[in-house]
Structure 1
Amino acid sequence: MDDTTEQGFPDPADLECILAALRLLTEAQHQGETSAADTLKDGASVREAAAGAGISTNTVQRWGCKHGWPTTEQRTGWEADRAKRDEWTARLEAASAVFALLGEVVA
Structure 2
Amino acid sequence: MAVQTAPVDTFTALDTCFTADLADLAALIGSEPPRDLTPNRFIDLGEEVRDVLASSSLGNFQDAGDDLDSAATYLTDALTEPGADQPALLARARTHLRDAIETAS
**Larger RCO, structures 1/2 (Cα 8 Å, 6+ apart):** 2
Could you tell me the TM-score, scaled by structure 1's length? 0.27
TM-score when normalising by structure 2: 0.27
Which has a greater percent of helix? 1
Bigger Cα Rg: 1
